[in-house]
Amino acid sequence: MSKSRRYKKYDPAIKAAIAMTGRIDLFPHLEIPRMTAKHWVQHGGDAIDDPITESMIEALNDLRIESLEVQKRLAEKDAIIRLLMETYQTLGFEIRWKHIDEPQKKIKILDAIETAMKTARRNACLSALGLSLSRYKRWRRERRGCSIENVKSCPRGNANQLTPKEILTMRELVTSKKFSHYPIRSLHFYAKREGLLVCSYSTWRKYIDHFKWKRPRKKHRKRKRKVGIRATQPNEIWHLDVSYFILPNKTKLYIQAIIDNYSRYVIAWQVMDSYDGSKTGELLKKAIGLTTNPSNKKLRLIVDGGGENRSKSVNKLEERGHFNKQVARFEISFSNSMVETLFRSLKHNYLFHQEIRSLTSLKKHVDFWFKEHNEKIPHTAFNGETPAEKFKNSWTEEKEIRILVRQQEAVKLRIKENQKIFCESCETA
What amino acid occupies position 13?
A
How far is CA 335 from each of CA 226, 242, 304, 328, 357, rounded to the nearest angstrom? Answer: 11, 14, 8, 5, 32
- Does the reported pTM lie above 0.85? no
Q: Please classify residue 82 by burial: count the beta carbons closer than 10 Å to its beta carbon, then call 0-12 exposed, 13-18 middle and 19+ buried.
A: middle
Please state, in angstroms and rounded to a whole number, the distance separating the CA atoms of residues 366 and 244: 12
For residue 1, the model assigns a pLDDT of 46
CB 308 within 8 Å of CB 283:
no
Which pLDDT score is estimated for 172? 94
Pick out the chain residues at pLDDT < 50.
1
d(CA 157, CA 193): 29
Number of Cβ within 10 Å of residue 49's Cβ equals 7
Q: Judging by beta carbons within 10 Å of its beta carbon (0-12, 13-18, 19+), is residue 201 exposed, middle or buried?
A: middle
DSSP 328: B
How far apart (Å, rounded) are the C-alpha atoms in residues 362 and 28? Answer: 102
Torsional sign, CA 348, 349, 352, 353 = positive
Identify which of 291, 230, 271 has the alpha carbon closest to the alpha carbon of residue 369: 271
* Cα separations in angstroms, 372 against 178, 185, 388: 12, 15, 10
Three-class SS of residue 234? Answer: coil
Tell me the residue type at 255.
I
> Rounded to whole angstroms, how far apart are CA atoms 7 and 29?
18
pLDDT given at position 244: 95
CA 157 to chain centroid, in Å, comes to 20
Alpha carbon distance 310, 306 (integer Å)? 7
Beta carbons within 10 angstroms of residue 50's beta carbon: 12
pLDDT at 50: 57
The whole-number pLDDT of residue 312 equals 92
